[in-house]
Amino acid sequence: MRHSVKEEPPAILSPIVFFLYMLPLIVLNDSYFLPTRTFLENVGMVLCYALVCTLWNSIGVGLSLYVICQSEAFWLKDTDLQENLLLASILSVVDPLAMFGGV
């Protein structure tokens, strides 16, 4: 009598499974076990760095985008500085949260 083993392909982690099911659990676990006393002792410095870094990053990215858009290589001369700074502020708000989230 012959026995065969049914081989199954290894499980593949898809981006949908990771971002919808695994990443929220990782973030919630880190925030739940965050040492509260240490965080509250340093909350002023964390907020100061977050505000300064967001402002600095927004201005730097906005001005860089404006300079890039004004070059002839991208054909985007119709964008003004205000639009670039607005886009930069939307993009830059995540950086301090990601950087200081694990304090």
Let me know: does 100 contact 50? Beta carbons within 8 Å.
yes
Residue 29 — pLDDT band, cuts 50, 70, 90?
confident
Q: How far apart are CA 35 and CA 59, in angstroms?
A: 33
Residue bearing the bigger pLDDT, 8 or 3: 8
Q: How far apart are CA 70 and CA 61, in angstroms?
A: 14
pLDDT in tens, 33-92: 878 888 788 888 878 887 887 888 889 988 998 888 888 777 777 788 888 888 888 887
Let me know: does 45 contact 23? Beta carbons within 8 Å.
no
- What pLDDT score does 24 carry? 83
Let me know: does 59 contact 88? Beta carbons within 8 Å.
yes
Res 18 pLDDT > 60: yes
Burial of 1 (0-12, 13-18, 19+ CB in 10 A): exposed
Burial of 58 (0-12, 13-18, 19+ CB in 10 A): buried
- What pLDDT score does 103 carry? 47
- What pLDDT score does 2 carry? 56
- What pLDDT score does 4 carry? 59
